[in-house]
Amino acid sequence: MIKPLLFSLFIVLGLLPCALALGTPYDPEWGVIQPKRIIRISVEAGADEISNGVRLRKAIDALVPGDQLEVGSGTYSVDRWWNVTISGTSEAPISIVSARDASVIITRPDAKQNILNLGQNAPVQYVVLRGLEFTGGSHGIRLGKCSHVWIDRCHIHHTGDVCLSANTSDSHHLNLTRNTIHNGGGTAEGMYLGGNNGEVIMSESVIALNHVYDCRGTQGDGIEVKQGSWGNLITENKVHDCNYPCITVYGTSGMPQNMIERNLCYRSLDSVMQVQGEAIVRNNVLIDGKNAAFASTDHQAKTTNLQVVHNTLINTNHAFRGGSWNDREKMVLANNVIYSKEQNAMHFPNGSQGVSIQGNVVLGDGAKIGSRLGRGIQDFTDLAWDASKLDTTPTQDAPFDCGVEAYRVQVDFAGKRRQTHPVISGAIER
């Protein structure tokens, strides 16, 4: 039996399929409510994919609170603009799920429209999509005026543009969990959440346990949370092989901070993770970015109120880059392991006045304030600079026992409870 504290680590490292992670704390409370009525739909013998798509669309549009639609194996193609406006309630949600052991593919014949829109002209709430595959079209799934919408264990890939977006209307209490997302086209973000300059805001939502990769296109962020979006939890995602940062998060415009923790991110042609500000960034493992492992700078608003603690940052180029940290309020860089092979471990091109820098272990050029020197890649169990090996568990003799108590967090990257003394720097407890 797998110990609970190791379960999340196995998922993030790909040792278990995300679909096995049931009943996590990232699911909505109303997600356990049993349906009042189960409706089943399957493809018709001899019918073409468009005809099957028409039947699926009509079945979904007819759902009422408490219904669960179980969709049988087959390909369902929708050749028109499709906007779902059904809603459940907290006591009677609506679920649209694949039948047991079914392979359900939802697509469209061209990229002129998104495959599926939810809530583009009317609010949608308390709706679940689970275990469905979306491919083709423009955006795979586009969320509009949505709240309490749960997208779980879906496979979204090879779309004409963004795979999953929530950028046309304000949304809140979304749960985006255990999805596999890859190979979008156009700007090619895996998830595009919120809008530029706070024009659209996503709040109090959970983005957890997703596997996002091969985001190439003209941009290619893995998970992008835009300016003004606030109070969101971005956790335990595995994101890799992106043109832009694997995870990009802007600021909250003075609203409650975003929490970004326990993510495994690697191989970016930009920075592996980029966070503007107003966030807590902890227990992340970030490896191999062309620019930096972690970067933070002004963008659409100023960097402020940013705590970067207990992360492991490994990069050939700069490991940490704080371009706009000088003389900003509530800036913390503490208890991290920050290794650069060829450049600066900590790079503050415009200064670091007022930043609390404590308990870090560093390797590379640049400032060493508040830090202990590491030895090299041998400080980790099985790690390579190019992310071909990903185990950043510290060896028994790694010099990581220099963390400061003031910034110690209770658990590590794997959910393992941290010891109180000595405090081990980095994302993973020894």
Pairing relationship of beta strands 360-366 and 390-394 according to DSSP bridges = unpaired
Same domain membership, residue 125 and residue 57: yes
Say if 207 falls within a structural domain.
Answer: no
Q: How many other CB atoms sit within 10 Å of the CB of residue 59? A: 17
The DSSP line for 5-61 is HHHHHHHHTTSS-GGG--S-TTS-GGGGPPPSEEEEE-PPTT--HHHHHHHHHHHHH
Say what the pLDDT of residue 4 is: 36
The DSSP line for 197-232 is GGSS-EES-EEES-EEEEE-SSS--SEEE-TT-BS-
Contact 174, 199 (CB under 8 A): no
pLDDT tens across the length of the chain (430 residues): 233 333 344 444 443 333 334 567 999 999 999 999 999 999 998 999 999 999 999 999 999 999 999 999 999 999 999 999 999 999 999 999 999 999 999 999 999 999 999 999 999 999 999 999 999 999 999 999 999 999 999 999 999 999 999 999 999 999 999 999 999 999 999 999 999 999 999 999 999 999 999 999 999 999 999 999 999 999 999 999 999 999 999 999 999 999 999 999 999 999 999 999 999 999 999 999 999 999 999 999 999 999 999 999 999 999 999 999 999 999 999 999 999 999 999 999 999 999 999 999 999 999 899 999 999 999 999 999 999 999 999 999 999 999 999 999 999 999 999 988 999 999 999 8
Same domain membership, residue 423 and residue 295: yes
Same domain membership, residue 404 and residue 326: yes
Per-residue tokens: 101: 């052991």
Say if 30 falls within a structural domain.
Answer: yes
Same domain membership, residue 225 and residue 170: no
Say if 156 falls within a structural domain.
Answer: yes
Say what the pLDDT of residue 23 is: 61
pTM reported for the whole predicted model: 0.94
The DSSP line for 325-354 is -TT-SSEEEES-EEEEEEEEEEE-TT--TT
Q: Which of 138, 131, 102, 132 is nearest to 117 (CA)?
A: 138
Same domain membership, residue 248 and residue 119: no
Same domain membership, residue 167 and residue 227: no
Helix (H) or strand (E) holding 336: none
Same domain membership, residue 268 and residue 390: yes
Contact 257, 280 (CB under 8 A): yes
Place of tokens 């043109």: 243
Say if 32 falls within a structural domain.
Answer: yes
Same domain membership, residue 246 and residue 160: no
Contact 266, 292 (CB under 8 A): no
Same domain membership, residue 158 and residue 258: no
Q: Which domain holds residue 82?
A: 22-177
| Cα angle for residues 273, 244, 225 (degrees, 5° grid) | 60
Per-residue tokens: 255: 């609203």
Burial (CB count within 10 angstroms: exposed 0-12, middle 13-18, buried 19+), residue 33: middle
Same domain membership, residue 158 and residue 229: no
How far, in whole angstroms, is CA 8 from its chain's centroid?
Answer: 14
Say what the pLDDT of residue 367 is: 84
Same domain membership, residue 165 and residue 82: yes
Say if 200 falls within a structural domain.
Answer: no
Give the Cα separation of 392 and 192 in Å (integer): 29
How far, in whole angstroms, is CA 300 from its chain's centroid?
Answer: 21
Q: What's the structural domain count of the chain? A: 2
Same domain membership, residue 366 and residue 297: yes
Q: How many other CB atoms sit within 10 Å of the CB of residue 112? A: 12
